[in-house]
Structure formats: C-alpha cells, structure tokens
Structure 1
Amino acid sequence: MKITKTLIVSAMLAASSASFAHGDKEHAKGAAPMKMEQKEWGIGGHSNAVKRTVEIRMTDNMRFTPDLIEVKQGETIKFVHANNGKVMHEFVLGTKKELDEHAALMKKFPNMEHDEPYMAHVAAGKKGEIIWNFNKVGEFDFACLLPGHYEAGMVGKIKVVAQ
C-alpha cells in the first residue's frame, strides 16, 4: 500500500501540534497571509507596530549572535536574520518543549514544508525576517532545527520582562 505525503501530514497533524520541517526552500514571499495564532511565546506582529529591529547572525559554527535577547512585554520586534554561513539555517521561536518536538519531527521528515510567522528559513548568504509581538512574560527559546544544527547547540534565549 502506498502512503502519500498528504496522508502522512494529516496523520502527523492529528498526533501533534508541532510544525513540519522543509528542505532548502526559503519561505514564500507574497504568498497568502500567514495565520496569526496566539502562542505561549506571543503572536505574529505587524510592521506598523515594530518597536525595534534586532539583527541575528547565523553561522556555520552553529551559533546565533546574539544568543540572548531581552524584550519588554508588549514589544513588537522585527528580527532580521543574516545567514553568514555556507549552508541553510533557520530561526524558530518557541518553548523548549515545542522546539524539542519540532527537532524530532525534522529528523524523521527533513523535506516536509512549513511556514509559520515565528520561523525564518534562510539560505546561505541571504537574509530573512520575522515580526513578532511578545505579549506574554517569560523565558522562551529560539533555535535552528535543521538536523544536526540543534544538537550542535544552535540555540538562544529570549527573556520577556513585564513593562
């Protein structure tokens, strides 16, 4: 019996709320608007609400610079991700639990696509961006979940403090 990608995706979505990985494609520009969904770590932001821009460099030594960012509750941040490496990297916001689950899925399904407002998939030598509103206080994580990158320590923290 042949199992299609659609069937696999449907089964995985039913079993988990985690997002799926994808291959070497960048996120589609000009595609349908992304669904803005409240997450434990905030909600997608709008460009007219951006309070500041934070550039994050990604390198092939499997590190983000900076890897610790402090944000005030309610602040909308535009993250600009500069991939200074020679391989694809990504930036995914979430909780440690969500990132661990997503990383495990990426190992099983490395070419499955996803496109969420809290993710940027950036080709070597390119830039990507996301705009995110941190409307909840707490400590959250970000990581590159491409197979091997997360395990190598390509992670960071965002501390959201009360106003």
Structure 2
Amino acid sequence: MRITTFLIAISSALTSTSTAFAHGPQGHGSAAGSAHHASAVREQKDWGIAGEASAVRRTITVRMTDDMKFAPATITVTEGETLRIRAVNAGQVLHEIVLGTQAELDAHAELMRKHPNMEHDEPYMAHVEAGQRGDIVWQFNRPGTFAFACLIPGHYEAGMRGTITVRPR
C-alpha cells in the first residue's frame, strides 16, 4: 500500500511540472511549426502579453538564416497592437525567436549556455526546425524598446538579434 501511494505521488509530481529540458523538435509544436501555445497562461511581461489570434490585424514575417541574421532585424508597432510574428527558418539548422527585454534575453542566453538542452515553450517564443515556420501572437501593450533573439548557444553570440520599438498611442 505504501509503495502504491509513493508511486502515485511521484507520478503526480512528474506530470504536474511545467518545465521541460530538451532543446529540439520535441515539445515545440508540430513539424509544420504551427502555434503551440494555445493553452498558455497569459502573463503580463515588461514587453507585453500573449495575444489573441482574433485580435491580429497585421502579420510580420521574420526570416531566420544560418548566417545568424533575422530579416527584418527591426520591427515597429504601436502600443496596444496585437501582432503575429511569423518566424520562417530559411536555414538548415534549428533556430528560435524569443521576445523580451535585453536584460531578460542576456540572462536567458547565459542559462542556455549552461544548459544547452533546456527546452522552453512560452507564448513569446517560437522554435522552428529547418525549412519550417512558427508563429508568435503577442500584444505589445507597453511602450518602449525591446529585443528578440535566437538564444541557441552560439547563435546569440554570433549576433542573431533584433529590436522591437513599441510607439506610444
């Protein structure tokens, strides 16, 4: 009886965690890179909040390439705008796009260097396999200058970064 109770407790603890640790195609949405944050909790961040697809009025396609560049590398939005950022991986290796403040991205990049197989799946990021695409739907509800980057070790250090300017209404 005690062993059964113990196994149930362990099983429950393992299935209730929300952090995963493997940086690869598993856990990053479908092979086509479709939106995979449908059940994501909407949490206010300094750079905005997860948006509702029904509120999107504009889609910006951002190409990611193996020369460690984003195109475009600058995006301008108006405060309150909900934007679909369509990340297209035109390269031969996995790339990602992660939105945040420069300080948040620097800290996350350091963590990725220490734990390169760490999986993370938040509504402000998209992990995209070679030749695929992924979407981020984000409401930019705070003005300021924010950043986006590929935090895969080596990519960030090679300059795979961009900026987002959110103009006040």
TM exceeding 0.5: yes
Normalising by the smaller structure, the TM-score range is 0.7 to 0.9
Shift of 1:112: 1.7
Number of residues of Structure 1 aligned to a counterpart in Structure 2: 149
What TM-score, normalized to structure 2?
0.82
- Match of 1:43? 49
Give the whole-Å Cα distance in 2 for the aligned partners of 1:102 and 1:22.
15
| Secondary structure at the counterpart of residue 145 of structure 1 | coil
Instruction: Determine if the alignment matches structure 1 residue 67 to structure 2 residue 73.
Output: yes
* Structure 2 gaps, min length 5: 1-12, 31-35
Shift of 1:28: 2.8
Give the whole-Å Cα distance in 2 for the aligned partners of 1:104 and 1:42.
23
What TM-score, normalized to structure 1?
0.85
Listed as ranges, the matches of 1:99-118 within 5 Å are 99-118=105-124
Partner amino acid, structure 2, of 1:77: L
| Secondary structure at the counterpart of residue 111 of structure 1 | coil
Which one has the largest radius of gyration?
2
Runs of 4+ in structure 1 deviating by more than 3 angstroms, as ranges, are 19-22, 29-32
Partner amino acid, structure 2, of 1:111: N
- Match of 1:78? 84
Q: Which is further off, 28-37 or 80-89? A: 28-37
Q: Tell me the C-alpha RMSD between the 2 structures.
A: 2.2
Percent of aligned pairs with the same residue?
54
The answer to whether the Cα contact below 8 Å between 1:20 and 1:106 also exists between their aligned partners in 2 is no
- Match of 1:156? 162
